[in-house]
Amino acid sequence: MPGLLHLVTCAATPLRRIGELLDQLVAARWEVQVIATPAAATWPFLTGVRATTGRPVLHRMPLPDEPWPVTAAAAVLVAPATFNTINKVAAGVNDNLAVGVLNEHLGGPVPVVMAAHVKPELRAHPAFARSRRFLTEAGVVFTDLGHPLDWTQTVAALDPHR
């Protein structure tokens, strides 16, 4: 069994088809814990996650009297990974549960894959190239979500890490 996969989701168009990604991950025998950015947590496309994964969507830091909701993972996948989240993680910003989980894994032994969904105008921004280069040097594996959307390359990027 591959183990537990932290699937960090960001608010971008591919989130509409997150069910397809979850189906592929479950078929690949991953146990999946979805951790949504605050913006992604407001999107209705995550409503079926618990039925597929058996786990609730995590989206906020626990209150002081609540247990830490995130358990150890075998791998981390960010899909879709937005301009905002990629740059936040590269800069070490730790302002929500999703980026906090990513920051905790950056440079460590747990593999991290980011499936970038960034429009051309933002790909041209100097911060994006700098962030992507920095994260790649820290061990992050990048895939790009194209059009038409196909999760196959993203799921395949997890294979070497099993």
Is 44 part of a structural domain of the chain? yes
Q: Is residue 136 part of a domain?
A: yes
| Structure-derived torsion over alpha carbons of residues 160, 155, 152, 42, reported in degrees to the nearest 10 | -160
Query: Which residue range is the domain that position 89 belongs to?
Result: 3-60+72-161
Asked whether residue 138 is domain-assigned, the answer is yes
Answer yes or no: is 21 within a domain: yes
Residue 66 lies in a domain: no
Whether the predicted model's global pTM rises above the 0.85 cut: yes
Confirm whether 22 is domain-assigned.
yes
Closest CA to 69 of 44, 46, 36: 36
Burial class (CB in 10 A: 0-12, 13-18, 19+), 42: exposed
pLDDT at 26: 95
Query: Contact 75/113 with Cβ under 8 angstroms?
Result: yes
The CATH number that applies at residue 42 is 3.40.50.1950
Low-confidence ranges of the chain (pLDDT < 70): 1, 160-162
In a domain, 78, yes or no: yes
Q: What is the pLDDT of residue 160?
A: 66
Q: What is the pLDDT of residue 161?
A: 54
The count of structural domains within the chain is 1
| DSSP string covering the chain | --EEEEEEE-SSGGGGGHHHHHHHHHHTTEEEEEEE-TTGGGSGGGTTHHHHHSSPPB-SPPPTTSPP-----SEEEEEEEPHHHHHHHHHT---SHHHHHHHHHTTSSS-EEEEE---HHHHTSHHHHHHHHHHHHTT-EEEE--SS---HHHHHTTGGG-
pLDDT in tens, 39-55: 999 999 999 999 999 99
Task: Establish if 32 belongs to a structural domain.
Answer: yes
- Residue 63 confidence (pLDDT): 87
Over the stretch 5-30, which tens digit does the pLDDT of each residue have? 999 999 999 999 999 999 999 999 99
Longest dimension (CA), the chain: 45
